[in-house]
Amino acid sequence: MSKKRIAVLAGDGIGKEVMPEGVRVVDAAARKFGIDLQFDTFDWSSWDYCEKHGQYMPDNWKDLVGGHDAIFFGAVGWPEKIADHTSLWQSLLLFRRDFDQYINLRPARLMPGIIAPVVRRDGTPRQPGEIDMYIVRENTEGEYSAVGGRMFNGTEREIVMQETIMSRHGVDRVLKFAFELAQKRAKKHLTCATKSNGIAITMPYWDERFAEMARKYPGIKTDKFHIDILTAHFVQRPDFFDVVVATNLFGDILSDLGPACTGTIGIAPSANMNPDRTFPSLFEPVHGSAPDIYGKNIANPIGQIWAGAMMLDFLGHKDAHDAILSTIEKVLDPKSGAPKTPDIGGKASTTDLGKAIAAAL
Ligand code: NAI
Ligand code: MG
C-alpha cells in the first residue's frame, strides 16, 4: 500500500504531552500491520507560534497540509494569553470549514476500569461495553450559520437574528454517512435527533430527508426522538443507542453528553471528517489544552491514542483500529496491573501509560 502522510499538530498545553504518545501508538500499530506512514510535524496552530507571528497559523497553511492524508491534532487554546474564540477560529474551525469536514464523529463507549457516572435504573453500575454508540454530528451548516445580524444597537428597538441553514446537499450527506455507519454495526440501529414539534420549518425538513434516506436502507432499524427527551434517554438508558445522527447544534450537545455518560474526558476521541476525501480529515481528542494540569506529565493520553485509531480506520486500516481499541481496553482493565494516570485513579505519567499501550500492542 502507498505511503500515507500524516500532518502532526500538537498545539497547546497538554496537546504537547499527549501527542507524542498518540504518535508512539499509531507508529507501533503501523509497524505491526505493515502500514507505511510518514509523520510531518508542524509547530504552528499554537500560542507559541502565535506569540512570534501574530496569528495561530501561517497564511499558506492550506498548502502546507492540504496534500496530507490526515491531520493528527492535539488541542488549541491558551486562555491566559489569547481569547478562546480567537484561537479556535484561527485554527480548528478553519480546518473544519475550509477542508469541508462535514462529519463530526464521536464514539461513546464504556471502557473497563472506568466508573460510568450514570447507573442502571436499579442502581447497579453499568458494565464495560454496555454503552457503545457513535454520535454523528453535521459539522458545517445548520444552526451554526453566519447569516443574520443585529440592528438598532443599544436602543429599545434592538433586534438580533441568526438563521439556521439546511441544504439538501448538506443534510443528505450527513444522513447517508450515518446510515452507512449503522450498516456496518451489529445492531444496525440509527436514531434521528429532531425537534420538529417546536422548530417547525427546518426540523420537519430534516425528518423528511431522514425518512427519504431510510427507504434506501431497509435493513436499518430507525427511530427518532425530540432532542429534549433524547438527552434524558442518553442518561437513563444509554445502552439503547447504537448510532445517533444530529444537526450541528444538537450534535454538539449530544457529542459531549454521550462521552460524559462513559466517564472521563481524558479518553474520548473525535474525528472531523471529509468522507469525500477532497481534503484531509482531522482527528483529535475531545478534551482541550487543560492549562490546569499542563507541565506535570499527568494528562491521560488515551483520547489522543483513540483518535489515532480512528485515523487509521479512516485510512483503510480497520484491523489496526480494532487492535488499538482492544489494547486500550486490556490496559484499562484493573486486572491488567498496567499504569494509570491520576484521572482514572492511578499515579502514572502520560508517558508511562502511552508506553504501556504501545508495548501491549
Ligand atoms: P479542557 O478539556 O482542556 O479541560 C477540562 C478539565 O478536564 C480540566 O480540569 C482538565 O484538567 C481535565 N482534562 C482534560 N483533558 C484531560 C486529560 N487528557 N487527562 C486528564 N484530565 C484532563 O477544557 P477547558 O479547561 O474548558 O479548556 C481549556 C482550553 O482548551 C481552552 O482554551 C479551550 O478553548 C480549549 N479547548 C480546546 C479544544 C480543542 O482543541 N478541540 C476543546 C475544548 C477546549
Ligand atoms: Mg462541544
CB 267 within 8 A of CB 111: yes
Q: What are the cell numbers at 353?
A: 501509560
Which residue is closest in CA terms to ligand 1's atom 40? 75
The span from the CA of 251 to the CA of 245, in Å, is 7
> Do residue 156 and residue 222 come from a single domain?
yes
Residue 291 alpha carbon, nearest atom of ligand 1: 28
Q: Is the pLDDT of residue 265 over 90?
A: no
Which residue is closest in CA terms to ligand 1's atom 4? 290
Range of the domain at 171: 115-263
| pLDDT tens for each residue of 204-248 | 999 999 999 999 999 999 999 999 999 999 999 999 999 999 999
Residue that terminates a domain, selected from 263, 281, 315: 263
Average pLDDT over residues 326-340: 94
Whether 93 lines ligand 1, by a CB cut-off of 6 Å, is no
Q: What are the cell numbers at 309?
A: 485509531
Domain holding 218: CATH number?
3.40.718.10
Within a domain: 199? yes
Q: From the CA of 185, how far away is ligand 1's center (Å)?
A: 31
Residue that terminates a domain, selected from 239, 263, 287: 263
ipTM of this complex prediction, to 2 decimal places: 0.98
- Using pLDDT thresholds of 50, 70 and 90, give the confidence band for residue 2: confident
| pLDDT tens for each residue of 40-53 | 999 999 999 999 99
Which residue is closest in CA terms to ligand 1's atom 20? 299
Q: Which residue has the higher pLDDT, 145 or 74?
A: 74
The reported pLDDT for the residue numbered 145 is 87
Whether 40 lines ligand 1, by a CB cut-off of 6 Å, is no
The reported pLDDT for the residue numbered 263 is 84
Whether 352 lines ligand 1, by a CB cut-off of 6 Å, is no
> Do residue 232 and residue 326 come from a single domain?
no
| pLDDT tens for each residue of 111-140 | 999 989 999 999 999 999 899 999 999 999
Question: Of 16-25, 33-42, 69-78, 110-119, which gets the smallest average pLDDT?
Answer: 110-119
The reported pLDDT for the residue numbered 1 is 62
Q: From the CA of 361, how far away is ligand 2's center (Å)?
A: 31
Q: How many domains does the chain have?
A: 2
> Do residue 130 and residue 239 come from a single domain?
yes
Residue that terminates a domain, selected from 263, 294, 316: 263
Average pLDDT over residues 86-107: 94
CB 108 within 8 A of CB 126: no
- Using pLDDT thresholds of 50, 70 and 90, give the confidence band for residue 292: very high
The reported pLDDT for the residue numbered 327 is 98
Ligand lying nearest the CA atom of residue 293: 1
Q: What are the cell numbers at 97?
A: 470549514
The span from the CA of 211 to the CA of 158, in Å, is 40
